[in-house]
Amino acid sequence: MRRVLPILLAALLICACAVADTAPVRMDPPPQSEPTQAEGELASYDLEFPADMPLEARNFVLQARAQFELHPFEKLPKANEYTYWYYHDKREIGWCSVFQIWCAYHSGVRLIHYNLKEQLPEDAVFTAMEGRVGNVYKAFDKQGRWLSGTEGAVPRPGYVVIYGVRGSTPYTHIAIVESVTPLGGSLYELTTVEGNINSTIKRMNYRYDARPAQPYYNMSVVPEAEITRQNCQYTLQKNNWYITGFGATWL
């Protein structure tokens, strides 16, 4: 028995270290993200990005797209690889924000808590390491990087988008903006990558009006005859959702 106990303790220590290596985001303060991939190291999926978009922000989008391609519209359990990486256990929980954290960590994007006291430099590329969508909003707002979707905000690729529910919470779901196409006036076509849409990873394609005639009605479907994107969901997830705003991960 005396020999078995040290062996068991050693085994437990090895397991604990292995878990710590696979999911360092539980550390407080947030950990350093992995170094971002070199230009061209990730599949590009023929996406075009603004010339001034930082490499970390580009790879944030490409990581999200790669996860979609890995699990396209596949039903995932609520306790999955992303939640286990973040929480270190098998809890079943909404994981839309955990998904964007995973993509950020694996592309070199800095992770912060919403109550970070320091002001980040203007060239910082970051997102919030917060499971609660409302706290993601707080993190961007405190850094002066929150763009209100009900007050004319225009997103860019690599931003995060937060959705609200009319008559209820303004912080119900979060996703990553893959592309933005101006359509004239205040109308834009957005393609997003979203974790935990009915327990799947989806690409969504829809229209966003930065200055809608009726407040909180700033999302609409792309007319069928004008659909150009492939492998997306073109219907709105919920008819009572609206875009609360965008977190500017980069400037």
**pLDDT class for 79, splitting at 50, 70, 90?**
very high
Q: Is 23 exposed, middle or buried, given 0-12, 13-18 or 19+ CB atoms closer than 10 A?
A: middle
Task: State the pLDDT at residue 27.
Answer: 60
pLDDT at 22 over 60: no
**pLDDT class for 32, splitting at 50, 70, 90?**
confident
Q: Report the candidate in 113, 215, 236, 107 with the shortest Cα–Cα distance to residue 173.
A: 236
Give me the chain's average pLDDT, please: 90
Average pLDDT (124-135) is 96
**pLDDT class for 15, splitting at 50, 70, 90?**
very low
| Type of residue numbered 202 | K
Q: Considering only 90-94, 100-104, 177-181, which range has the smallest mean pLDDT?
A: 90-94
Task: State the pLDDT at residue 26.
Answer: 57
Average pLDDT (69-85) is 95
Task: State the pLDDT at residue 181.
Answer: 97
Output phi, psi for 131, to 5 deg: -70, -30
Task: State the pLDDT at residue 25.
Answer: 53
Average pLDDT (68-96) is 94
Helix (H) and strand (E) counts in the chain: 5, 9
Q: Are strands 126-128 and 110-112 parallel, antiparallel or unpaired?
A: parallel
Q: Is 205 exposed, middle or buried, given 0-12, 13-18 or 19+ CB atoms closer than 10 A?
A: buried
**pLDDT class for 31, splitting at 50, 70, 90?**
confident
Q: Is 38 exposed, middle or buried, given 0-12, 13-18 or 19+ CB atoms closer than 10 A?
A: exposed
pLDDT tens column, 145-193: 999 999 999 999 999 999 999 999 999 999 999 999 999 999 999 999 9
pLDDT at 5 over 90: no
Annotate 207-223 with three-state secondary structure: EEECCCCCCCCCEECCC
**pLDDT class for 77, splitting at 50, 70, 90?**
very high
> CA–CA separation, 244 vs 172, rounded Å?
9
Task: State the pLDDT at residue 24.
Answer: 47
Instruction: State the pTM of this model.
Output: 0.90
Average pLDDT (216-226) is 97
> CA–CA separation, 77 vs 81, rounded Å?
9
